[in-house]
Structure 1
Amino acid sequence: MVLAIDRRIGKHAILLAMSNEQEVSSLTIPVQWKSCIGKVGSMDSQKVVAAIETAAKREGIIKTEGYRETHALYHAIMDALSGVTRGQVQLGAVMRTVGLRFAVVRGNPYEDVEEGDWIAVALYGTIGAPVRGSEHETIGLGINHI
């Protein structure tokens, strides 16, 4: 099992999440991979999860029926949220809010085709008290096999 240097799925997800529209158009990801980007702002972590899951299903990143792919995406989202929230996946309950760009990337980052698809979720944006100007940058990444 060799991780191909130009197929680092997490790096591609982070770059997509951190890039503006002009920068996104210049990024190159492997042709056979699928990706989507979006934005979400909330004081409710459930809304963040729902926004990412909805976008991934709408864009055909994961299947709408069945559980396995949704489950893999959920774990990648939770890992990314854990990074954003420093291990406490809570927002409004502890008086903080987020404004995030997200990217979901699906593909095989390995040279061996039998390794199958993996999914990466990157979150980049701001977190802080629900008072404008009290936020700071944050980033999180989750990767899971499908």
Structure 2
Amino acid sequence: MALKNDCRIGKHAILLLLSDDTADQLAMIKQLNWKSCTGKVGSMDAHKVVAAIETAAKKNGIIQSDVYRESHALYHAIIEALSGVTRGQVQIGSVLRTVGLSFAVLRGNPYDNKQEGDWIAVSLYGTIGAPVKGSEHETIGLGINHI
């Protein structure tokens, strides 16, 4: 079970998210036969961040909403990414913090062996801080889960 060197799903999720010109990244993702979507969300509520990412993934065909294991895998990837954004405590509004995030979701098989199946990666980048303009700092998170 070896990861393909150029198929690191987390790396591609972060590159897609941070790229100023996404055309090259999207071409690479298409070449790998993976699915992707991007979006933005801002909130003081973690459940709204989760809902925005889940909605985008469903609308863009990244996951099938009627297949529980796919929603479940996405949920865990989102929570892992949020854990990075919030430094291990997935709390936002309850501790008077707000986030403004861009996100990327990728789905594909990063392994040489096709039997390993699909994996999903969620990357988040943006700001977190007190709900006062100018009282925030940059943050980033990445979550990866098997489907």
Same fold by TM-score greater than 0.5: yes
1:59 paired to 2:60: yes
Structure 1 runs (4+) deviating above 3 angstroms are none
Residue 18 of structure 1 and its aligned partner are, at CA, apart by: 1.5
Residue 69 of structure 1 and its aligned partner are, at CA, apart by: 0.2
Residue 138 of structure 1 and its aligned partner are, at CA, apart by: 0.3
TM-score (norm 1): 0.96
TM-score (norm 2): 0.95
Residue 113 of structure 1 and its aligned partner are, at CA, apart by: 0.4
What pairs up with 1:1-146 in 2 under 5 angstroms? 1-20=1-20, 23-27=21-25, 28-29=28-29, 30-146=31-147
1:82-126 CA distance string (max 9 Å, x none)? 000001101011011000000000000001000000000000000
C-alpha distance in 2 between matches for 1:25 and 1:69: 27
Residue 15 of structure 1 and its aligned partner are, at CA, apart by: 1.0
What SS does the aligned partner of 1:7 have? coil
C-alpha distance in 2 between matches for 1:94 and 1:11: 31
Residue 16 of structure 1 and its aligned partner are, at CA, apart by: 1.3
C-alpha distance in 1 between matches for 2:145 and 2:32: 20
Letter in 2 for 1:12: H
C-alpha distance in 2 between matches for 1:6 and 1:31: 9
Gaps of 5+ in 2: none
What SS does the aligned partner of 2:73 have? helix
C-alpha distance in 1 between matches for 2:40 and 2:16: 12
Residue 31 of structure 1 and its aligned partner are, at CA, apart by: 3.6
- Identity over the aligned pairs, expressed in percent? 73
**What is the number of equivalent residue pairs in this alignment?**
144
Gaps of 5+ in 1: none
